[in-house]
């Protein structure tokens, strides 16, 4: 790790875990279909409450502990059973909720390259942020290290936004996300 908790190099182990990440187990996952191969990375944006950063809402949502009375918005989502493989906090801290060899419930109704059910063959990466708020340099640094580790372990064909696999339903990571920074990452 470099200063500030941003990883300089990451690896994915045989169990689908990244040792440089803080692991918080989410129950919102299951086995991938037997014939599926991880080949897609899906970038998301999330903040709970919306537009606020640094709280426990994301962890609580992904572990089914979100208190619907803690914020008016929470009452509308506390019933959801969702997760992601990873969350990258504003300061670049990396959290992992689901091992990569399991299916996290992050994409919902989705389609990529003519194939539905993106959860079956993708890894979900949530960036703490909002569609219209620029993401932090520390987040891009961690994202770059994570994408490199995932590309080293899996035959990744594309990195896309949630909006790309669920157009009309999702907008994240939004126009504030700088796709040119992802395009510049080594393959």
Catalytic one among 126, 128, 136, 157? 126
Say if CB 88 and CB 94 are below 8 A apart: yes
Q: Say what the pLDDT of residue 6 is.
A: 66
- The reply to whether 126 belongs to the active site is yes
Residue 29's SS3 state is: strand
Q: Looking at the structure, give the CATH architecture of the domain made up of residues 3-179.
A: 3-Layer(aba) Sandwich (3.40)
Q: Say what the pLDDT of residue 185 is.
A: 78
Each residue of 34-51: pLDDT tens digit? 989 999 999 999 999 999
Q: Which residues pair with 45 in a beta bridge?
A: 127
Residue among 33, 38, 126, 130 nearest 85 (CA): 126
Q: Say what the pLDDT of residue 3 is.
A: 46
Q: Say what the pLDDT of residue 157 is.
A: 97
Say if CB 92 and CB 71 are below 8 A apart: no
Q: Which residues pair with 96 in a beta bridge?
A: 23, 86
Give me the residues of the chain with pLDDT under 70, please.
Answer: 1-8, 186-187
The first and second tokens of residue 8, run together, are: 């300089």
Q: Say what the pLDDT of residue 5 is.
A: 61
């Amino acid at each position: 790790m470099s200063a500030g908790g941003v990883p300089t190099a990451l690896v994915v182990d045989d169990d689908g875990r990244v040792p440089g990440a803080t692991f918080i187990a989410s129950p919102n996952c299951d086995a991938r279909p037997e014939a599926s191969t991880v080949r897609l990375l899906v970038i998301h944006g999330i903040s709970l409450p919306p537009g606020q950063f640094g709280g426990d809402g994301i962890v609580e949502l992904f572990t089914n502990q979100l208190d619907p009375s803690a914020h008016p918005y929470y009452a509308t989502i506390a019933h959801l059973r969702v997760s992601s493989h990873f969350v990258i906090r504003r300061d670049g801290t990396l959290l992992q909720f689901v091992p990569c060899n399991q299916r996290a419930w992050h994409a919902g109704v989705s389609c990529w390259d003519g194939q539905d059910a993106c959860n079956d063959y993708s890894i979900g990466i949530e960036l703490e942020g909002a569609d219209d708020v620029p993401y932090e340099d520390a987040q891009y640094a961690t994202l770059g290290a994570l994408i490199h580790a995932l590309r080293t372990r899996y035959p990744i064909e594309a990195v896309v936004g949630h909006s790309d696999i669920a157009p009309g339903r999702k907008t994240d990571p939004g126009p504030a996300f700088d796709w040119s920074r992802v395009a510049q990452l080594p393959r």
